[in-house]
Structure 1
Amino acid sequence: MTLDELDRALLHALHLDGRVPFNHVATVVGASPQTVARRYRRLRADGVLRVVGMTDPRRLGQVQWFVRLRCTPDAVLKVAGALARRADTSWVQLMSGGTEIFCITRGADAPDSLLLQELPKTPRVVSVSAHCLLRSFVGGPVGWHGRATALTEEQIAQLTLEDKEPSGEPVDLAGDDRLLALLQQDGRAAFADLAEALGTGEASVRRRVGQLRRAGVLYFDIDLDPTMLGMKAQAVLWMSVRPAQLRTVAEILARHPEVALVAATTGATNLLAKVLCRDVDSLYTYLADSVGGIDAVGHVETAPVIRTLKRAATQSCSRM
């Protein structure tokens, strides 16, 4: 499938607000509401993209961990598949060589159950290392801006409501588990459908979603297959940066359109970046020129992604 101008404009609009009304998008891009809605349904049905409601781990007192596993070749797909089915994992990917798995997990503390009890007992898991996400600069609530380049500044202004910082007000999530799970499966689910599934009133659901968004607990993201944007070369960079310049380097990388995630981490390296490029030549150019031009970056380990089993949301990728 090839994305046309309308597909990319819709993608950009959803990047700005995952629940923006389709009739508003239609007015801005010069199409009918029916056409815009039909395009989204087609892209969603084909597994190219969908809107997902996500929770900000920090607002929930949770910690995220980048986990690297090395397995014997005969076990890697089985272990990766098991990780992808877990509710507490995201971005389960196979790396170059076919024996390493990368994933992100979250929890209230260190992922003890996964790292200390389950994985060590898994046959043919050779090694496991976990790196705590200390600070995120791109990724999560701050989406990858490289995917959203179709709209003009005027169109962006028409689609963007007044930006407000999350209130940070304390939020009691008791009783919200089912609502959050439904929104993670379909971030554009109608309030009426959510109310019916929850057995409550539509006004109550609308009000609660608004409260969670204002508090910064809930945000809406795009779960996207980047190959549809022509990004066929993906890699995870594990970088060593002089501590005094860690923030500066992270902020530089965050402005690069190739970078979908930048985070300061614990471990032998202290900065992680996920990059998406059009091909291996573009990846080389990015590493040699953009990363290579940053003096504070010392050692860089480049781990190409060869397969993605799960992206941001709870469901495994339908396109394997």
Structure 2
Amino acid sequence: MEADDRRIVALTELERKIVNALQIHPRASWTLIGDALGIDPDTAARAWAGLTASGRAWMSAHPGLGGPGSPLIAFIEVNCRAGSADAVAQELVPKPRVLTIEHTSGGRDLLLTVLVVDLVALSRLLRDELGATDGVIGTRVHIVTTARTDGADWRLRALDAATARRLAADRPALEIRPERADHRDHDLVTELLRDGRAGFTDLAERTGMSVSTARRRAHRLLASGAVVLRCEVAQPLSGWPVSGSIWCRVPPARLDAVLAGMAGVPEVRVCAAITGGPTNMFASLWLRSAGDLQRLEAQLSERVPDLETVDRAVALVHIKRMGRVLDDDGRAVGLVPVAVS
């Protein structure tokens, strides 16, 4: 009986549409979402409450990446002593600078995504945190120089084009300017990470700000791209249950064009230029099956003759994703607020 209670429940058609709507417009009102989907707003709100309570979907927030003054992101391959990968992963779960932890196949045991303020902080993380973790026997670091797309851009594709356009048109446009969250915004960012749809009155109560201050600061952080909201779904329920990664080599003169082309591939979750090794491009993929990794590689080679795939990996399990602790079924069961230092 206990196993049945813990079994992951598939998304209904309505739940898929609500997740897709919130991927497009994370803070859309339930009135707008209900009108766009042709349902009562209270029905939409109850469905979302059920999704978050079960850990099958959630709203994440993270500092904006890739712009002037933004933090540094890196992918770190971790080799572990035989039999110690799980213990190492659990040791890293509480670390707020380690956003994502994957247990993978291939030439590494774990693949981490980390966020730090600069190269010195990255060195400290490698030396004082990873280097001091029992079971870690080696690391390889890939520093992101340009992130063309990330998981916030990925869509479930459950809505028709007209509904998707309607929701996108209502979403406030970014006001691009070099800005990042400062120490006064830490509590606000943390609360947005806990609940990206929290109302301004709730945000004010939780942070000790006035409602007007919470509204003004949240609008500034979101409009500038200093904070990015993303609606996530448990991957086994997404229709793309397998996660893969590829490390590629592209002629430097072609790198920007290849990144732009990769950003339009439906399976691509993350596509970034990297430095620090023999490859200069990294892509994280969501796939229908493990065999799709080879199919996608072949398609990419045909579309981009200059692209050479040097290494690849399949994630056996995601242990943490963008600060959310996951169970073996991909459900959110805990939270480690993202920190940059």
TM-score by length of 2: 0.86
What amino acid is the match of 1:155?
T
Q: Where do 1:124-273 residues align within 5 Å?
A: 124-139=135-150, 143-144=153-154, 147-160=155-168, 161=170, 164-168=173-177, 170=179, 173-266=182-275, 267-273=277-283
1:48-127 map, 5 Å: 48-57=56-65, 58=67, 60-96=69-105, 100-110=109-119, 111-127=122-138
Counterpart of 2:31 in structure 1 is 23
* CA shift in 2, pair 1:25/1:216, >3 Å: same
Query: Which of residues 290, 293, 302 in structure 2 aligns to 1:280?
Result: 290
> Structure 2 vs 1, CA of residues 174 and 281 (structure 1 numbering), >3 Å: closer, same or farther?
closer
How many angstroms does 1:294 deviate by?
A: 2.1
Q: Deviations over 1:102-157 (max 9, x none)?
A: 011111212122212232233332211111100011105x512xx33122232123
Amino acid at match of 1:82: E
C-alpha distance after superposition, 1:252-310 (max 9, x if no partner)? 21111011010000021110001111112333321222345421012431111001011
Give the secondary structure class of the aligned counterpart of 2:324: coil
How far has the Cα of 1:88 moved from its partner? 0.9
SS at match of 1:115: helix
1:200 to partner: Cα distance:
2.7
Contact 1:17 1:220 in 2 (8 A): no
1:34–1:291: structure 2 CA closer, same or farther, 3 Å change rule? Answer: farther
Give the corresponding residue for 1:3. 11
Unaligned runs of 5+ residues in structure 2 are: 1-8, 330-341
The aligned amino acid for 2:115 is R
SS at match of 1:176: helix
Q: In the superposition, relative to structure 1, how do residues 171 and 268 fare at CA in structure 2: closer, same or farther (>3 Å)?
A: closer
Amino acid aligned to 1:37? A
Alpha-carbon distance, 1:170 to partner: 4.2
CA contact (8 A) 1:233 1:283 kept: no
Cross-structure match for 1:316: 325
Q: Could you tell me how far apart the structure 1 residues matched to 2:317 and 2:309 are?
A: 25
Count of aligned residue pairs for this structure pair = 316
Report the equivalent of 2:337.
none
Q: Alpha-carbon deviation of 1:218?
A: 1.7
SS at match of 1:275: strand
Is the CA contact 1:95–1:303 (under 8 Å) kept in the aligned structure 2? yes
Does the CA contact (< 8 Å) of 2:18 and 2:44 recur in 1?
Answer: yes
The answer for unaligned runs of 5 or more in structure 1 is none
Distance, in Å, in 1 between the alignment partners of 2:237 and 2:28 is 22
RMSD: 2.0
SS of residue matched to 2:230: strand
Task: Report the 3-state secondary structure (helix = DSSP H, G, I; strand = E; otherwise coil) of the residue aligned with 2:213.
Answer: helix
Distance in structure 1 (CA, Å) of the matches to 2:83 and 2:108: 9
User: TM-score, normalised on structure 1?
Assistant: 0.92
Structure 1 moving runs of 4+ over 4 Å: 169-172
The alignment partner of 2:162 has SS state of: helix
Please list the CA deviations of residues 75-113 of structure 1 after superposition, one character each: whole Å capped at 9, or x if unmatched: 111111222211111121000169611011111212122
Q: CA–CA distance in 1 between the matches of 2:181 and 2:264?
A: 35
CA distance in 2, matches of 1:232, 1:133: 25
CA distance in 2: counterparts of 1:281 and 1:299, whole angstroms: 16
Q: CA deviation at 1:225?
A: 1.8
Amino acid at match of 2:207: L
